[in-house]
Structure 1
Amino acid sequence: MAFFVEVLVGGLLAGVMYGLVALGFVLIYKASGVFNFAQGAMVFLGALTATGLEQQGVPLWLAIAMTAIFTVVLAILIERLILKPLLAQPPISLFMATLGLAFVIEGLAQAVWGNNARALDLGIPDVPLEWLLDSTGVGVSTFDLVASIIALALIGVLSAFFSLTKTGRALRAVADDTKAALSVGIPLERVLIIVWSAAGLVALVAGLLWGARNGVQYSLTLVALKAFPVLIIGGFSSIPGAFAGGLIIGASEKLADVYIGPMIGGGIESWFPYVLALLFLLVRPEGLFGDRIIRRV
């Protein structure tokens, strides 16, 4: 029983960090209705830039602060130079723009900082919590717990910000009907800049946490792919849905890998979340927290 709880808790903690990655996608989708394929590249860029500056002799805290400023500036430039000229175009045009942007960001990041894997030490020990292990026999990583608390706090803050503030209400108005929002004086450009900046900062935090956990390397972009099933299950436009979807994906992939994997030869963790997402598409395509789609014919 203790082993089952340990696997489940480990999966849930990883799921919170999956939800953090998915949160960046949700923010952009809520504002523009476009799936930002470049979010995974932003996760990679944030971690790579911070560690690159650290290797140049910059203290880690200052490197993170400088990377945060750079991320916000980059997000503003993307919105102004790429997305703004395409706002009147079909959503597929915006999606293809973000797809191309992802490859550009990945290429430039590696051209500037190199493509060697790097370790990232955030000062959080990756050891089991001794008091929990001694009292229950369940081993939970200190790093996974602290990282999940950070991710959960960020999700909660952004959820409250976009639910309770004037800017958040403006965002929801823009997401519901852009033309109507413009007609009542909502500054679309300012809303999009705020959203893209927030998504960039979320990508930085996600990159730092996943980089410290797995190393800063190109595979960080693959972690972002786990956001797809998270979004399908939780809903593309729901911040709480990103959290819930992350928990479901994190727990199910770990349990499937431990209990089903040995029966079919292993490797199930890499593809089981997508099977689960496909099943959700058949039952509830809008996700658990997404708006139900009603079509009248």
Structure 2
Amino acid sequence: MRLVVGYLATPSGADGLALGVQLARSLGAELDICMVLPPDRPVPSRAPTEPGYEDVLAGTGEAWLAQAAATVPDDVRAHTHLSFHESFAQGLLDEVARLGARAVVVGAAGDGLLGRHSIGTVSSELLHSAPVPLALAPRGFRHSAAPRIREVTCALGTRTGADVLLRTAVRACEHMRTPLRLVSLVAFDPHGVGRGAHPSHEHVLEAARAHARCVLDTARAQLPDDFPVASLVADGATVESAVATLEWRDGDVVMVGSSRLAQPHRLFLGSTAAKMLRVVPVPMVVVPAHDPENSE
């Protein structure tokens, strides 16, 4: 198994690399640290005898990659790759395809709050085009003290179509030997079911609990009898407030599914996942609506 980290010599790049190391160690995967640089553009004033801009940039990029690789612990096998493309996101996806990587990892944009996700141009493009799971590291994740993934939280909605997400989460937990927490979110916002509307608040909560129990039974059927799996319902006035009721610890990761609006074999961040992304303080993994292991 191979994981691609989209790397830049920035704090955001260090956040993504730290998450890549944590995931690679947990999954027993190899790490591919990939840097994508813009291609050379002719500059009329450049003297013919001067070194090519692309050559200079490549040398600098290789030095940055070497420094990044030097920070990877000895128990994680890492490789570095330098490529040129007009689009960092597309260049990264080209490397994912070339290397046969199972997932891509990036850090948050540099202007977000510490411990929170901030979507920049690259992560936004990947969230709407990646054919493999995308792992997003929150700002400051490079300071995480957790050597491995501690627990996987799988956020499953009450709608149908979550089977791929559940299978992916179960498979990941089996590989990493980590507990699985299944969460069903119930939000009572003005655009949904209000507390004074019909069906009642209690009815919706009970429906969510029944759904969570059904999902829990499905997950347990795919796991050994002694595998640690739990299920709970989180509710609030909004998705954000529902997520805020959950407890998180260093080493946790949350997995969400791609929107049903996604094109075949591509990601598309849905509205619920986007709202979760604003408040969760742990890495988020967005899973495509298809199963990459079963599509080979």
TM-score (norm 2): 0.24
Q: Which structure has the larger Rg?
A: 2
Per residue, is there more strand in 1 or in 2?
A: 2
Per residue, is there more helix in 1 or in 2?
A: 1
TM-score (norm 1): 0.24
